[in-house]
Amino acid sequence: MDKFRLDGKVAWITGATYGLGFAYAAALSQAGAKVVFNARHADAIARALDEYKELGIDAYGAVCDVTDEKQVELFVADVKERFGTIDILINNAGIIKRIPMTEMSVEEWNQVINIDLTGPFICSKAVIPDMIKKGGGKIINACSMMSELGRETVSAYAAAKGGLKMLTRNICSEYGKYNIQCNGIGPGYIATPQTAPLRKRGSDGSMHPFDRFIRSKTPAQRWGTPDDLCGLAVFLSSPASDFINGQIIYIDGGILAYIGQDPSNLDESKLKTVEEDSSVQVSDR
């Protein structure tokens, strides 16, 4: 079981002030890693540090915009001076804009692409040289079911996540010979406060149409939780995954493997309920 431990490793999780990034950071810390994170605003850093402290996690956070190459280089240099080479990078920071493609401005498109795709490129580029010198490292990219599927109003997000899938494979292709593993995590639909209204029963006890739709498309017939994702994050960060490279692993309850059923056929009495984690604020990932 020692192969799953992260003792002595420095793990950088981008955008880990809340949401899945925060959950990943907490899980890696429990496995022994020193957690460092960034955000664009100092107040977000301060709030997150307080929350980490409440969990007994001695994290380090600093202001850094993942789309600004100079800021990223300075952040990596700062972390290296304080704690040593970054061993693990989780490119978690991301945004989504739900706008029909013909109504989306180029500026809005570029914002999504820059944060969701160019940011991981910049951050990975910044840590790979030291990983090579140290003899290896782990990069995990926050992919999505939208790395495989299209959906209305998320053209920029789907394009970015599709690109991130291929960036993941290309990092594997270029740097696998240096013992660097780059893989992706593709979450399905996760129960969070943001998605709670979509799972709320009507006054007559009826299911929300979107809840019924998602469950009908999911063999597990439930929404996921952050805990469903964190085990994979620790595994892909650990020596136990040293021969896994260039893979996108989807934690979606089986959605991508299943054509789905008629939503009207669901037996509501047998459906599981999932309590959302109030610290997690994400939508489709």
Rounded CA gap, 276 and 190, in Å? 8
Q: Which of 24, 52, 157, 189 is catalytic?
A: 157
User: Nearest CA to 271 among 202, 201, 166?
Assistant: 201
Which neighbouring-strand residues pair with 137?
180
CB of 25 within 8 A of CB of 49?
A: no
Tell me, yes or no, if 157 is annotated catalytic.
yes
Residues belonging to the chain: 285
- Six-digit token pair at 69? 């190459």
What residues are annotated to the active site? 157
